[in-house]
Structure 1
């Protein structure tokens, strides 16, 4: 990953360099700057594509459009070919430069031609505006602060706090949201003075201080008459294409391998696409009490089947606790997923031999692998079940102490979430603290958004 930052309607190059230096952990390979009277851009780069020639910022032919970005454009090669056929001149073979020329060709619609994960900043001197864009699913973060016709932005929240005019105050709505979801949804952040772009959102900021945001993409569901076999074939083709695009790299690619279907499938397809022996990585636990969480044997078996160069790291509970302060510093905001520290450990371990890793993260969300999705299916299948019976059964569960077993706790959540509307059912299933519990805990009510 890379780290980007910038100032609009500021003249403070020292601040820009301080902000950029704070992103060095995101981009240890090089830094780059564009410094003008009205706009300054900075980047810390992790080199993946066109290692020697792909340094940023990068401009178009006449130097009137500049860009920096964090992420990867997977279809940059085909996009580059199309832009060349339209007369655009490229001076590098990097995916970054395709962004500049795509914007030059398609204006704000350029983002709909990109396939990838990205946080992008484009300075257009001709139109006196800067464009900030976040990828469709929000893989790459982008924070910003707007005040008095001035804009600051960065890949991480802490970077914006380098500016002395930002005096952060706690956002109570964000705390309330965190206790519901265990993270702070965009556009809010933990501080009132700083926002973050939503997934699939674009911010256009003009030098006169006027700005607007817009959503450029959304998920669309379509009815189809295809049978299960057709869907399976289409899914396989899409997975193979997806892996193929992500294997394009000028540095070694590895796989985070667990014992699950998702990462095993990714590893299988990646192995078929690679001419080189791939590295795979698994984390195990020294003091584990529940063997169902130990994935070492199954992942090693899969690695042997695929013929990968397999690496294992064994951790204990103390290893995770020792890293809490460091991981919290990287996260910037409250984030309650207990696997975060383990993700840091395995990623740091993998980075010693691979600069890029693929994983199966997202598979459960795409294919309904979590218990909450199964609960929603039950609610749908038994929607006409007598509500009085459901309520009575739920009341029985409420009388059983939580400490009895984990199944009792899950049962309480299940029956409490059996509501009339699907939206209410889902919200109840994903909520960690209910509204009355939050008010007791925080002693304040969530403010209207």
Structure 2
């Protein structure tokens, strides 16, 4: 794995020493992503740099790397799982290789096919290629957005990096808070799509390429994770899931690597550990919370049945909150999901034993695993009502000033899906944001981001549309962003076998009644894993939750309030309302723990990046 950086000046060349100084400063900020090696190349107009961790071809895969003629130069972060097949194809076309690396395969593939080369890649990746002959920069990000790619562009230069902190080191880049990103963060508990918290800095979206030529930046979509259910017997899907997931795990277990797996009582991580154990003895890792609802005993039993060497850690309140500042620094942005701290501490635990970990991210989005996906089924008793009736009835329900049994059910059942589901991460309603965000920073509605995805899926059922929203907005913006950066904080590589385009191909075809059936989520995945995982796949499972609500009723909340007051966020957030929410939670007048967490993390991030960093 690697941290990649680059600068392209769009007007004129700069002194070589200046270019190399800039690129080395950028690379130093992501040294944790690649502590084994660093490399730099520049021709005066463009400079490429890398901090590299050796996984494959540790002696010959140094970067930046070029083709034989030196006409194309690449920096690459990720793994290409079908690189050997592509290499054989290119050798047949008389390409000659000097290393055994997947990086060199990409640069030769580009030499042969140009931008169309992206369609042949299977893996997780972000890379940039400088085409010397065309004076063109070509960059790409993988299908699901596992690997990050950020960029800044103005009339003078184009700058890219694996992490935002590298871009902030470049002379002349003075950025501030992007205000509508604060609104999106409160809406989604993450920053979906291209936005970041920094004005002028964007993400390259998953499944996209980027070209810079003559100072112009062009974005292109090469892949869209669209679901197209197709009615086949369930046994066909059971066999295909087993075959493709087994193949994906094999491709993700590359040679000569110390490898392990994250383990929980959920079917997806248990299945991965079972497949891995069929190949060789492995180590597994899990964390739990002191005082929380934990699946630790179930996980220990699973590990024992699989025969893995298992390592676990219990996180207490002190461990948890002392980790938050470091996690925010590595993420470059505030942490919306409280379980992100689990990822940071899990990676720290695993890095003491292995260099690579397989994890089950993506299974819920692909196979229908979130509990909220059962909602359309529970609402079926009133969903058949005429649209005009539901509209008037919904208005009448909202006008009732008090709560009654069934009010929330009736409200949801008479609200169109596109007006009630904004992703599995949605926490703060527009009405609540009107109290929290000062009016001059308030955006219109949350639906402005979700509407294009609902428009594309009008032909699909409600569950599938919900999955599509999560695949495009919440998964890359939240969990994948966290698991990459918080693992690389410890120089640990994470691989995600469910987020393989071959696995998605079959998952996208599964009918909704195979995904959600008999009151069970991920139904067909459970059936497919029946003879793979130990014991019964229908065993009850505990959700390993952060006891945040409980912790925020201790004196910890007073420390958090002091930090919020000192963060400088009062110009755009209502401090009186924040203090009121925190007091209500402390006094058991409602559970506001997740909202407090969002606000606290934004405050810490703002102090770190908007107040303290510009002074340093």
* TM-score above 0.5, yes or no: yes
**Is 1:4 matched up with 2:25?**
no
Aligned to 2:427: 432
SS of 2:348 mapped into structure 1: helix
Judging by fraction of residues, say which structure has more helix: 2
**1:428/1:141 Cα in 2 relative to 1: closer, same or farther (>3 Å)?**
closer
* Distance in 2 between residues matched to 1:294 and 1:259, nearest whole Å: 10
Paired residues for 1:43-192 under 5 Å = 43-192=50-199
**1:437/1:51 Cα in 2 relative to 1: closer, same or farther (>3 Å)?**
same
Aligned to 2:289: 285
Paired residues for 1:212-223 under 5 Å = 212-223=218-229
Aligned to 1:446: 443
1:184 touches 1:335 (CA, 8 Å); kept in 2?
Answer: no
**1:381/1:39 Cα in 2 relative to 1: closer, same or farther (>3 Å)?**
farther
Residue 244 of structure 1: which of 245, 250, 253 is its match? 250
**1:160/1:442 Cα in 2 relative to 1: closer, same or farther (>3 Å)?**
same
2:78 touches 2:124 (CA, 8 Å); kept in 1?
Answer: yes
**Is 1:25 matched up with 2:19?**
no
SS of 2:137 mapped into structure 1: strand
Aligned to 2:277: 271
Aligned to 1:399: 402
Paired residues for 1:187-226 under 5 Å = 187-206=194-213, 208-226=214-232
SS of 1:427 mapped into structure 2: coil
Aligned to 1:322: 322
How far off is 1:396 after superposition? 11
Over aligned residue pairs, what C-alpha RMSD do you find? 2.4
1:50 touches 1:250 (CA, 8 Å); kept in 2?
Answer: no
**1:134/1:314 Cα in 2 relative to 1: closer, same or farther (>3 Å)?**
same
**1:416/1:326 Cα in 2 relative to 1: closer, same or farther (>3 Å)?**
farther
**1:41/1:439 Cα in 2 relative to 1: closer, same or farther (>3 Å)?**
same
How far off is 1:412 after superposition? 6.9
SS of 2:38 mapped into structure 1: strand
**1:50/1:382 Cα in 2 relative to 1: closer, same or farther (>3 Å)?**
farther
**1:396/1:237 Cα in 2 relative to 1: closer, same or farther (>3 Å)?**
farther
2:393 touches 2:414 (CA, 8 Å); kept in 1?
Answer: no
* Distance in 1 between residues matched to 2:50 and 2:391, nearest whole Å: 60
**1:342/1:390 Cα in 2 relative to 1: closer, same or farther (>3 Å)?**
farther
* Distance in 1 between residues matched to 2:163 and 2:378, nearest whole Å: 40
**1:124/1:316 Cα in 2 relative to 1: closer, same or farther (>3 Å)?**
same
Residues 63-83 of structure 1: per-residue CA shift (max 9 Å, x gap): 110111111111111111111
**1:236/1:428 Cα in 2 relative to 1: closer, same or farther (>3 Å)?**
closer
SS of 1:41 mapped into structure 2: strand
**1:8/1:414 Cα in 2 relative to 1: closer, same or farther (>3 Å)?**
farther
Paired residues for 1:357-368 under 5 Å = 357-368=357-368
Q: Which segments of 5 or more consecutive residues in structure 2 lack a partner in the other structure?
A: 450-616
How far off is 1:49 after superposition? 1.0
Q: Which segments of 5 or more consecutive residues in structure 1 lack a partner in the other structure?
A: 402-407
* Distance in 2 between residues matched to 1:75 and 1:368, nearest whole Å: 27
Residues 31-60 of structure 1: per-residue CA shift (max 9 Å, x gap): 111111111100111111111211211111
Judging by fraction of residues, say which structure has more strand: 1
1:136 touches 1:200 (CA, 8 Å); kept in 2?
Answer: yes
**1:57/1:412 Cα in 2 relative to 1: closer, same or farther (>3 Å)?**
farther
**1:334/1:285 Cα in 2 relative to 1: closer, same or farther (>3 Å)?**
closer
**1:413/1:184 Cα in 2 relative to 1: closer, same or farther (>3 Å)?**
farther
| Higher RCO, Cα 8 Å, sep 6+ | 2
How far off is 1:220 after superposition? 3.4
My pick for the range that moved more, 419-428 or 339-348, is: 419-428
How far off is 1:305 after superposition? 1.2
Query: What TM-score, normalized to structure 2?
Result: 0.67
Residues 191-215 of structure 1: per-residue CA shift (max 9 Å, x gap): 1111111111111001x21221111
For this pair of structures, how many residues does the alignment match? Answer: 434
SS of 1:183 mapped into structure 2: coil
**1:428/1:329 Cα in 2 relative to 1: closer, same or farther (>3 Å)?**
closer
How far off is 1:258 after superposition? 0.9
1:51 touches 1:250 (CA, 8 Å); kept in 2?
Answer: no
Paired residues for 1:33-48 under 5 Å = 33-48=40-55
* Distance in 2 between residues matched to 1:373 and 1:257, nearest whole Å: 23
Residues 149-199 of structure 1: per-residue CA shift (max 9 Å, x gap): 410000111111112311112111111111110111121111111111111
* Distance in 1 between residues matched to 2:395 and 2:47, nearest whole Å: 63
Paired residues for 1:334-353 under 5 Å = 334-353=334-353
